[in-house]
Every structure is written in C-alpha cells, then in structure tokens.
Amino acid sequence: EMFGQLTTGLETAWNKLRGVDVLTKENIAEPMRDIRRALLEADVSLPVVRRFVQSVSDQAVGAGLIRGVRPDQQLVKIVHDELVKLMGGEVSELVFAKSGPTVMLLAGLQGVGKTTVSAKLAFYLKKLGKSCMLVAADVYRPAAVDQLKILGEKVGVPVYAEGTNVKPSEIAKHGLEEARKKSIDVVIVDTAGRLQIDKTMMDELKEVKQALNPTEVLLVVDAMTGQEAAALVTTFNIEIGITGAILTKLDGDSRGGAALSVREVSGRPIKLVGRGERMEDLEPFYPDRMAGRILGMGDVLSFVEKAQEVMRQEDAEELQKKIMSAKFDFNDFLKQTRAVAQMGSVSRVIGMIPGMGKVTPSQIREAEKNLKIMESMINVMTPEEREKPELLAESPARRKRIATESGKTEQQVSQLVAQLFQMRVRMKNLLGVMQGGSIPALSN
C-alpha cells in the first residue's frame, strides 16, 4: 500500500490523544515525536520535517476548541492542512503558450520513466483536445528512439526522429519547425538521461532549452528515490531552470518522501504524477487528495471541516448583526484581535475588513504589530468606554488617560478611535445599510 507505513506511523500519534480535553504543549509532545519519526521514516528531508513539526505544534497549541470535535481529530485536520501547504496547496496546472506550438521539454535521469512519461503526457493532452507531437532527442540510446516510436504509435501521436547522428538541439529545432507547419498544439521533447548528473548532460539540456524556448521544462523524477528526488529537482532547477516536476512510480512501494519534499526543498511544484505502466496512468498532482490519501481519514477531515464551517457562520452572523445596528464596539474589536492571536494570523480578520483583499506576509506582520498596540489601549478602557466609543471621541481627557495607562501617545489613541468609526462606516457601506448616521468628530 502506497504510503502505508507513513499512515500507520501517524495513527500512532492520534491514538495517544484519545481522551484529552484540549491540545496543550505537554500532551502533544509525544504525538509530535511520532509524527516526526513517521515523516523521517518516509524519507522526508530533515529540514522539511523540522519546519513541519514546528508549524503543526504552534497551530495545535493555539487552536481554540471547536464544538463537537475531539482534540485528536483537530490535530488530524491541522496535519492535513499543513501537508497540503507543504505540497504547494493548489494543483499546479500545465501552462500553454499563447500562440504557436507549446513546447514541453522533459528531462531526467535514466530509468526514471522519462520516455514512458513523454508518451503518457501526449496521451493525456490528447484527451484534453490538444494535438501533440513527440520529438526523440535522446541520441545516446538508439533503443530510446525506437521505444518512443512504438509508444507514439500506441497513443496515436506522430514522433519526430532523426536517428542518433544529429545534435539533440538540431533535432529539437527541426521537430518544432515540423510541428509549426502542421499546426500542432504541443511538442513534447524527450531528452537523453544519464545514470547520474554530469556536465555534458546539463550543457546539452541548456542548448536544447535555448534552441526551443520551451513553456514547460519538466524534470521527471522517480518517487522511489524519496528525498533524493527533491535534491535532483533543486539541482536541475539551479542548473537549467525548470517549471516543475513529474513524479513517477507512485504506484510502487513509495514511502512518500519525494511527494512531500519536492516543493518545499526546490520551490518547484510537482505538476503530474505517474501511477502505473499503462498510458492512462498519468494525472495532475492534487496536494489535498494526496494529503487525504496519506492520512487515510477522509471522514474525520470532512467532519472537522463542517464543524469549523458552522463556527465560522455563527461568528459571521453575530458580527453582521452588530454591524447592522452600528454596535461594533471595542469589545468586538478585542474579540477579533484575540481570535487572531489564537490563530497566529490576522488573515481572517483582514479578510473581514472591507477594502482589504489579498495581503502579503509582511503586511500581515505589520498588522499583527498594530493589533498588539491596539489591544494594549483597549485593555485600559473602562467597560463603558468599550461599549460606547463615542465617549472617547468626545473626551480628550479620557483619551489622555488611556494613553498614559497604556504607555501609548494620545495621537495613537485618537487614531484607534477614528479607526473604529471608519470601520463601522465601511462595514455598513459594504452591507448597503446606509442609515444616515453621522460619524462623531474627535473634539479637541
């Protein structure tokens, strides 16, 4: 069973959390060691494992309770989401050129399944309605040219070949010309592999790449080689620049290290995976499905997701009510900042603030800093001031007291008050509830 060992290793972790009420630093320590061990045994690279475990621990300890969800189930979900993130989150689609034939250059070491993948890829693209041509630019193995011809015939795709006495970059160029004449959509170029990386292979690849200006440069790697696959992708990316990887032999006894390490180590996505010797055994790499398969707990995951969704909805409804009645006060503000602290990210709150769409990590850090400052000021407000921000808008003395007690400037307090009113207005505008309420001006 693919990833079977990894799945079993992770199960050990969940089982140790049966019966606990809430995830704490103490009670997750041992399960986290199990997770670490399981990942290392799956041949995931050590720095990746370290970062992964750290991130999961941080999230687990900060995770609030979700009604009806057991802590062990919650950890499964956190690990799942982190696995998805590790593998790049979204599926990485193949890119096609805007005009002319799209060139896809395939590279890889010998025996990884490169020639097979070339034909599989043609078959896959044909099913998407693209016309394809295969180009045999592996001139070192006469058998490789023949193999490609046979496979091309099998999938009904023309193969361009010039034997083994012409330079690969020349063959590739001629192949591309031919494809242009025939208005072929995609040209797939199979290049020579070696038993290991050497300079001749890299130079040749660079030359072919230069001659073709390919849209996709895909490195074919064997899943059975574990974290070595990630190292290879990194090297090829530095040497020739690649757009992604194709992971083969996922149907075999793969332990998972390659699938989990490639993206994080190399910065390049896995675009496709091969899971068998048949021509139809090539498919897009879906990080979420892969994570689900590794955990083998689809039911738990969808259950936790639903519970989270319900919580979010209740929160959102409550917030909406407040906005409608213009009652969004400093207590709500504080609740939001605390929720943020718990989640370790302000992205959710920022997502709720109208007019703030996508944010960058540095904006998030900046916002987190600002929220800390705001929190210290709100903390020294009286309950009455929190509920009626108008009191602060009207009274410089109150603002001064808050500044003194929180160690901030009066200007910062004024800004905070103004911000709250701006937020009310913006939220009301967003909901289209223009009630004609005026904004109290700050009096000096």
Binding of residue 115 to ligand GDP (CB under 6 A): yes
Only one of the segments 112-120, 123-131, 166-174, 231-239 lies at the binding site for ligand GDP (rule: CB under 6 A); that segment is 112-120
Only one of the segments 113-121, 304-312, 335-343, 359-367 lies at the binding site for ligand GDP (rule: CB under 6 A); that segment is 113-121
198 or 305: whose CB is closer to ligand GDP? Answer: 198
In angstroms, the CA 233 to CA 235 distance is 6
Residues 179-198 interacting with ligand GDP (rule: CB under 6 A): 193
Residues touching ligand GDP, count (CB under 6 A): 18
Report in angstroms how near the CB of residue 4 gets to ligand GDP at its nearest: 16
Report in angstroms how near the CB of residue 153 gets to ligand GDP at its nearest: 16
Cβ pair 369, 340 in contact under 8 A: no
Report in angstroms how near the CB of residue 117 gets to ligand GDP at its nearest: 6
In angstroms, the CA 156 to CA 125 distance is 12
What are the structure tokens assigned to 330, written together?
Answer: 């400093």
47 or 252: whose CB is closer to ligand GDP? Answer: 252
Report in angstroms how near the CB of residue 143 gets to ligand GDP at its nearest: 9
189 or 392: whose CB is closer to ligand GDP? Answer: 189
In angstroms, the CA 188 to CA 103 distance is 6
Report in angstroms how near the CB of residue 125 gets to ligand GDP at its nearest: 17
Write the DSSP assignment of 130-175 as a string of letters: --EEEEEE--S-HHHHHHHHHHHHHHT--EE-BTBSS-HHHHHHHH
Element holding 104 (H helix, E strand)? strand 102-107
Only one of the segments 6-14, 90-98, 103-111, 429-437 lies at the binding site for ligand GDP (rule: CB under 6 A); that segment is 103-111
Binding of residue 110 to ligand GDP (CB under 6 A): yes
153 or 318: whose CB is closer to ligand GDP? Answer: 153
CA triple 271-276-277, angle to 5 deg: 115
Binding of residue 116 to ligand GDP (CB under 6 A): yes
Our measurement of the distance from residue 134's CA atom to the centroid of its chain's CA atoms, rounded to an integer in Å, reads 32
Report in angstroms how near the CB of residue 282 gets to ligand GDP at its nearest: 8
193 or 389: whose CB is closer to ligand GDP? Answer: 193
Report in angstroms how near the CB of residue 61 gets to ligand GDP at its nearest: 40
Maximal C-alpha separation, the chain = 90
Cβ pair 344, 58 in contact under 8 A: yes
Report in angstroms how near the CB of residue 254 gets to ligand GDP at its nearest: 10
Query: Torsion angle of alpha carbons 292, 295, 299, 302, nearest 10°?
Result: -50
Amino acid identity, residue 243? Answer: T
Cβ pair 323, 423 in contact under 8 A: no
Write the DSSP assignment of 215-269 as a string of letters: SEEEEEEEGGGTHHHHHHHHHHHHHH--SEEEEE-TTSS--SHHHHHHHHHHS--
Residues 235-294 interacting with ligand GDP (rule: CB under 6 A): 248-249, 251-252, 274-277, 281
- Return the beta strands (E) in 24-140 as ranges: 102-107, 132-137
50 or 278: whose CB is closer to ligand GDP? Answer: 278
Report in angstroms how near the CB of residue 115 gets to ligand GDP at its nearest: 3
Report in angstroms how near the CB of residue 189 gets to ligand GDP at its nearest: 13
In angstroms, the CA 89 to CA 153 distance is 36
142 or 298: whose CB is closer to ligand GDP? Answer: 142
In angstroms, the CA 349 to CA 361 distance is 14
62 or 252: whose CB is closer to ligand GDP? Answer: 252
Report in angstroms how near the CB of residue 233 gets to ligand GDP at its nearest: 15
Residues 359-378 interacting with ligand GDP (rule: CB under 6 A): none
208 or 371: whose CB is closer to ligand GDP? Answer: 208
Is residue 134 left, alpha or beta, with left meaning phi > 0 and alpha meaning psi from -120 to 50?
A: beta
76 or 112: whose CB is closer to ligand GDP? Answer: 112
How many CB atoms within 10 Å of residue 235? Answer: 15
Residues paired with 217 in a beta bridge: 105
Report in angstroms how near the CB of residue 340 gets to ligand GDP at its nearest: 44
Binding of residue 113 to ligand GDP (CB under 6 A): yes
Only one of the segments 7-15, 109-117, 164-172, 406-414 lies at the binding site for ligand GDP (rule: CB under 6 A); that segment is 109-117
115 or 169: whose CB is closer to ligand GDP? Answer: 115
What are the structure tokens assigned to 68, written together?
Answer: 């009806």
Measured from each CB, the residue nearest to ligand GDP is 113
34 or 251: whose CB is closer to ligand GDP? Answer: 251
Burial call 282-317: b when 16+ CB within 10 Å, e when fewer: beebbbbebbbbbbebeebbebbeebeeebeeeeee
Residues that bind ligand GDP (CB under 6 A): 108, 110-116, 193, 248-249, 251-252, 274-277, 281
